Amino acid sequence: MKRETGEAQGWSWFDAGSDHDIETDRLRDLFAATFATAPGRAVLLHLHHMFIDRCVPPSASDAELRHAEGGRAAIAHIERLARPVPAPKSGERPNSENSRD
Query: What DSSP letter does each residue of 11-79 carry, written as one string?
Result: TGGG---HHHHHHHHHHHHHHHHHHTSHHHHHHHHHHIIIIISPPPPTT--HHHHHHHHHHHHHHHHHH
Q: What is the pLDDT of residues 40-73, one digit of tens each?
A: 999 999 999 999 999 999 999 999 999 999 999 9
Q: What is the pLDDT of residues 1-49, one digit of tens each?
A: 455 555 556 776 666 555 667 788 899 999 999 999 999 999 999 999 9
> CA-CA distance, 101 to 81, in Å (whole number)?
9
